[in-house]
Chain A
Amino acid sequence: MSASSLVDQMKRGLDAPICLTWELTYACNLQCVHCLSSSGQRDERELSTLEAKRVLDELRDLQVFYINIGGGEPMVRRDFFELLEYSVGNGIGVKFSTNGAFIDAEKARRLAAMDYLDIQISLDGVDAATNDAVRGIGSYDTARRAMDNLAAANFGPFKISVVVTRHNVSQLDRFKALADSYGAQLRITRLRPSGRGADTWHELHPTNGQQRQIYDWLMEHGENVLTGDSFFHLNAFGESLPGLNMCGAGRVVCLIDPVGDVYACPFVIHDEFKAGNVRDEGGFSRVWKQSDLFRSLREPQSAGACASCGSYDACQGGCMAAKFFTGIPLDGPDPECVGGDGEHALSVVQPGSAPKPAMDHTKPVTLTRKNTVVAR
């Protein structure tokens, strides 16, 4: 079977996801300006420990090999280690994303003693100024301290996970050097206009010139850098990048959010892409196998406005989430189309017409002004 027919098979959907993200909580100690789940406050409808274990039982039965745990900050859950151990004990490996705030020396040793566990520490700048502008004051030092603790505990090759923005594209070599200095692996992903990112994407997303820089850098270093399915829209520049060169949403990828809602991918927390809830009858399996949304995503997709473009086979029309939250039709070009069609498509979007993310768990900001406390 050729590589292209394998991609065709994957587009028709797998019996179970291979890249399942599970956000355990909307609670977070940080308030990153690009947070794709608008996290901050815990949602009171969050899955209980028992409910979470029932989902893990289902994933074991579906032979899901591993899950990607995120949040919010997953380590704020009191049952975090309990769920981790339950998952791994059931043959489901865990990769979890964290800002590192709760990885002290003792936790680092505990994590290092576990098998089938990968850790991704988020870092969006090689220096505090670049990183903290996006992730909050002190978050650079927090992340580096967690990395130091994992290294001291001999955790092994953890991952440093970077969201590429206009302000850190020029730091890719230095991110790689930082990862190498820890014996860590670098992972870079695309900034999406999802969650709070909807409000900051226009200022933060890489410029057209920088898109080329990312592509060239990945062509040179991509074999040793993880990217998931982030950058297939850049394939229109020429040769295909390493990595998954298709949109996996609802086909090989999905998201379970903290309250059990199942979305097509981690970047589309919106009713339009909600396939069901793990609490529904039939649980996650039924949602994955039978939901109308996932079934329709596994049908051949229309190339729409991009049908006549010679690069469509390479870029596949780009990222569904990036189009949706910038107000571009789903069969239109990616807002970061390297051929320049995205800029035109963005220019005709009516101001304010782009769909708003479904939920906002951002912590209320308290402004203190002259003895008056204004909460909004």
Chain B
Amino acid sequence: MTIDLDSVLELHPQVAVRPEPFGALAYHYGNRRLIFLKHPDVVRVVQRLAEHSDVAATLGACGITPDRHDSFVAALASLQKSEIVRERIVTC
């Protein structure tokens, strides 16, 4: 799966996010991975993915300016690889 601004994502349900001075730690209880979220903006975006229709809407709602969108898409792609975020199945 390729992540872009249209991707529909959510925080993986087996992941816990713990705030830390530098951002947060994310721990996946399933694959036991511990990931450092190194910026408070990344933490906010990750936690609010499920509230919005897609990545672009989440970034907009979190006040991430368009010049930073590419780096956030890259960060989300890497977090999707570690299964910290995953594709959200939208059901009606």
| B-contact 0/1 string along A3-44, CB 8 Å cutoff | 000100100101110100000000000000000000000000
Q: How many residues of A contact B (CB 8 A)?
A: 16
A116 at the interface (CB under 8 A from B): yes
The answer to whether A65 touches B16, judged by C-beta atoms less than 8 angstroms apart, is yes
- Residues of B1-35 whose CB lies within 8 A of A: 16, 18-23, 25, 27, 29, 32, 34
A12, closest chain B residue (CB):
B21
- What secondary structure prevails in chain B residues at the interface with A? strand
Q: How far is the CA of A153 from the CA of B38 in the complex (A)?
A: 40
Contacting pair B38 A6 (CB below 8 A): yes
B interface size (C-beta, 8 A): 15
26 A-B residue pairings within 8 Å (CB atoms): A1-B38, A1-B39, A6-B36, A9-B20, A9-B22, A14-B20, A15-B18, A15-B19, A15-B21, A16-B18, A18-B25, A18-B34, A65-B16, A65-B25, A65-B27, A65-B29, A65-B34, A66-B27, A66-B32, A91-B16, A91-B29, A93-B29, A93-B32, A115-B29, A116-B29, A118-B32
Which residues of A sit under 8 angstroms from B19, Cβ to Cβ?
15
Give complex CA distance A16, B16 in Å.
14
CA distance in complex: A26, B27 (Å):
30
SS class, residues of chain A in contact with chain B: loop
| A 243-265 contacts with B by CB, 8 A | none
- B residues near A311, Cβ cutoff 8 Å: none
The answer on a CB contact under 8 Å between A63 and B29 is: no
Task: Name the B residues within 8 Å of A115 (CB-CB).
Answer: 29
